[in-house]
Structure 1
Amino acid sequence: MQKRILLLCFLLSSFAYFFWNFKAKIITTDGKQHSGYLSELDYYDVENREPQDLYKMFLYDSERKRKSSFLKFDVSEIKSIYIYNKKDQKIQFVFVKPTLEQFESTKFHYRKYHKPKEKAEELSYESAWITMVMVKEGKDLDLLCDFLWINFKVSQEDNTFITDYYNRYFVKEKKSNVPKPLGFISKIKDNGYHLLLVGNNKLFEENAVEIFADYCPKMINDLQTKNFVFGNKILKVFDYYLRNCN
């Protein structure tokens, strides 16, 4: 089972070979609205985009990415960005900085697949931005989720983004652009049980203590005294913060 989990993580964290396109709307800082389709970053992009364009948002005029015209936007030009599923349910994207490890991984792939490979050295961490889903917003902290380029839906229970595969949740401080991992919840069943890809509930709790220690001392005390037990319910721990410490 562990090998299958590692393989799944590798496949979903690598550049894509298969293409999912979603209807999208970009609102620029000048107030204009632009509608079209967004597609995931794939090997074709890595091979063909110049370093200054790798982290820009390409909005295509049709679902056929390779045969579409497009507009490209720098992150600094975008005020808001939304994406829609087949039921026209909407989610909001936000821009965050990748970790240095993620940036170096992208640089490695760019050097490997782009010609001339020396252009990888022109990639700048300052211009490196990735999108995540805004799940819930607080005063000092926001709950974010990785976006997987597969069919997504919006939960009727709490209006949050979910997939049928797995969801990786992060918490971002308002004063920082780099989010911290909170936990991974799998939607894949093995022998009828959901897999917790983060490892175990204890590790999830350790992440929560590290993230919320300065923002929600009451949570840390309740965790230590077992007055608050969240298991692997990621939304539950952020809702606790919103109710008690926001």
Structure 2
Amino acid sequence: MLATTPVLVWNWQHDWVTLRHVSDNAKLDKPWHPTLGFFFDFAGQEAGLLNPVFFGAILVAVCRFWPRAGSRPLLLYFFAMGAPVFFGYWLYTFHSRVQANWIAPSVLPLVGLMAMYWEQRWREGVSGVKRWLVAGLCLGAAVVLVFHETDLLYRIARLHLPPDKDPLRRVRAISGMARAVGQARQDLLAEGKETFIIAAHYGPASQITFYLPEARLGLPGSPLAYVRAAKVPKNQFFFWPEYRYQDFRKGQNAIFVS
């Protein structure tokens, strides 16, 4: 509890914004209409992200480790650290959609539980453990390779992913976009007036800052790329005084990145 004191104090000073943010994400202000749609969406997303083989192995381990918990308390520790978060969110899908990354704190403990349980089963002579491990590793390696360069799908199978299905859609050509924005800024600077950058979303603002050398030079005190101002907090930039461009950039040109 003592370690959380700075977080609690900061939230108290900022109108408990974290609690309100979590409440908004959880749709606590919406009426409950029971549905199974989000339940199966969540299951499919987690199976895909965690590897279907290992996802199944985790579920089996969670259900079957109990007779061994007395002699191997670390199994119970891993369960306690991971299962309440994972299954708590899974149950919450009966209320509303849960983003796949919300269960991130539970992943390492559950993988630890899975590894300990199935390692013991392998030592007891369950021959299928090794085959499933190899299958999971091979599947994971193939997926990681393809998803780090989705153009491989076209080279291998002449298959183009639709843009809304491409996991790389948010990162493709970002450096080129930053260069284009930087060049547009140089063109405006040539007219003799200071120019800064406003992005509609915190993602492009951060990416431009990372890829544009002159944007990095101004950090931390004088940023060049900002997020569009808002009356209520929508991201961390809202709380950083140096990102209130309306206070520091009056009368300057701005490039807006949508």
Q: Do both proteins adopt the same fold according to a TM-score greater than 0.5, normalized to the shorter chain?
A: no
Q: Structure 1-normalised TM-score?
A: 0.23
Query: Which of 1 and 2 has higher RCO (CA within 8 Å, sep 6+)?
Result: 2
Structure whose residues are more often strand by fraction: 1
Structure whose residues are more often helix by fraction: 2
